[in-house]
Amino acid sequence: MKLYEYAAKGIFSKYNIPVPKSSLVTNARDAGEAARSLGKVAIKAQVTAGGRGKAGGIAIAGNEEEAGREAQRILGMSIKGLPVKKVLVEEYKKPQKEMYLGITIDRSARRPIIMASSEGGVDIEEIARSSPGKITRAHIDPLAGLHDYQARKLAFSLDRGNSDLIADVVKKLYRVFSDHDCILAEINPLALAESGVFALDAKMIVDDNALFRQDVEGEEPDPLAALAKKNGMSYVGLDGDIGCIVNGAGLSMATLDMIKQHGGDPANFMDVRAGANEEQVRTALRIVSSNRNVKSILINIFGGLTRCDEVARAIIGMRAEIKVPFVIRLAGTNEEEGRSLLEKAGITLATSTEEAARRVMELGHSH
Give catalytic residue positions: 100, 186
Q: Are 114 and 92 in contact (CB under 8 A)?
A: no
**DSSP type of residue 133:** G
**Among 357, 352, 278, 289, which residue's Cα sits nearest to residue 324?**
289
Considering Cα of 191, then 192, then 193, then 198, what sign does the dihedral take? positive
CA atoms of 107 and 57, how far apart (whole Å): 33
Give the 3-state secondary structure of residue 198: strand
Q: Which positions ≥6 away from 292 have C-beta within 8 Å?
A: none
Q: How many CA atoms lie within 13 A of 16 on its CB side?
A: 5
The phi, psi pair for 330, rounded to 5°, reads: -120, 140
Give the 3-state secondary structure of residue 48: coil
Strands (DSSP E) contained in the chain are 22-25, 41-45, 58-61, 78-79, 82-83, 87-91, 97-106, 111-117, 135-139, 182-193, 196-199, 203-206, 234-237, 242-246, 268-271, 296-303, 326-332, 349-350
Give Cα 124 distance to the centre of its chain.
Answer: 15
CA atoms of 113 and 214, how far apart (whole Å): 22
